Structure 1
Amino acid sequence: MIHSTRGIVLRAVKYGDTSLIVSMYTELFGIQSYIVSGVRTEKKGGTRAGMFQPAAILDMVVYHQDQKNLHRIKEFKWGYVYREVYAGVVKNTLVIYMMELLQKCLKQPESNPDLYAFVESSLLRLDAADDGTAANYALHFTLALAAHLGFRIGGQYSAATPVLNLQEGVYEAEQPGHLHVLDGYLAEATSLLMDAETVDDLRAIRLNRELRRSLLEGYQTFYALHVPDFGKLRSLPVLQDILG
Structure 2
Amino acid sequence: MVHTTKGIVLRTVSYGENSVIVLLYTELFGLQSYIVNGARTSKKTAAKNNLFQPACILELEVYHNDLKNLQRIKEARWHYLYQDIFFNMPKNMVALFMTELLQKVIRQPEHNPDLFNFIEDAYIQLDKADIKVTAGYPLFFALQLTSFFGFSIRDDYTPVKKILDLREGEFVKHLPQHPHYLEEPASAAISQLLKVMQPFELHHIALPLAVRRELLGSILQFYALHIQDFGVMKSLPVLQEILS
Specify the TM-score bucket, using the shorter chain as the normaliser: over 0.9
Asked whether 1:69 is paired with 2:69, we answer: yes
Alpha-carbon distance between aligned partners in 1 of 2:10 and 2:66, rounded to the nearest angstrom: 20
Deviations 1:65-118 (A, max 9, x none): 111111111111001001111111101001111011011101111000000000
1:63 is matched by which residue type in structure 2? Y
2:181 is matched by which residue type in structure 1? V
Give SS of 1:144's match: helix
Query: How big is the shift at 1:44?
Result: 4.5
Matches within 5 A, 1:168-207: 168-207=168-207
Alignment match, 2:209:
209
Asked whether 1:93 is paired with 2:97, we answer: no
TM value normalised by structure 1: 0.96
Query: How big is the shift at 1:151?
Result: 1.3
Contact 1:40 1:48 in 2 (8 A): no
Alpha-carbon distance between aligned partners in 2 of 1:22 and 1:80, rounded to the nearest angstrom: 18
Deviations 1:105-154 (A, max 9, x none): 01111000000000001111111110111000010000000012221111
1:235 is matched by which residue type in structure 2? S
2:20 is matched by which residue type in structure 1? L
Query: How big is the shift at 1:46?
Result: 5.4
Alpha-carbon distance between aligned partners in 2 of 1:180 and 1:239, rounded to the nearest angstrom: 23
Deviations 1:16-43 (A, max 9, x none): 2221111110000111111111122334
Identity %: 47
Structure 1 residues without counterparts, runs of 5 or longer: none
Query: How big is the shift at 1:232?
Result: 1.2
Alignment match, 2:33:
33
Alpha-carbon distance between aligned partners in 2 of 1:147 and 1:41, rounded to the nearest angstrom: 42
Contact 1:55 1:95 in 2 (8 A): yes
CA separation of 1:141 and 1:68: change in aligned 2, threshold 3 A: same
Contact 1:40 1:47 in 2 (8 A): no
Alignment match, 1:128:
128
Alignment match, 1:149:
149
Give SS of 2:202's match: helix
Asked whether 1:9 is paired with 2:9, we answer: yes
How many residue pairs get aligned? The number is 244
Alignment match, 1:42:
42
Contact 2:167 2:180 in 1 (8 A): yes
Give SS of 1:99's match: helix
Asked whether 1:223 is paired with 2:227, we answer: no
Deviations 1:140-176 (A, max 9, x none): 0000000122211113322111111000011111110
TM value normalised by structure 2: 0.96
Query: How big is the shift at 1:224?
Result: 0.7
Alpha-carbon distance between aligned partners in 2 of 1:36 and 1:194, rounded to the nearest angstrom: 40
Contact 1:212 1:240 in 2 (8 A): no
CA separation of 1:127 and 1:10: change in aligned 2, threshold 3 A: same
Structure 2 residues without counterparts, runs of 5 or longer: none
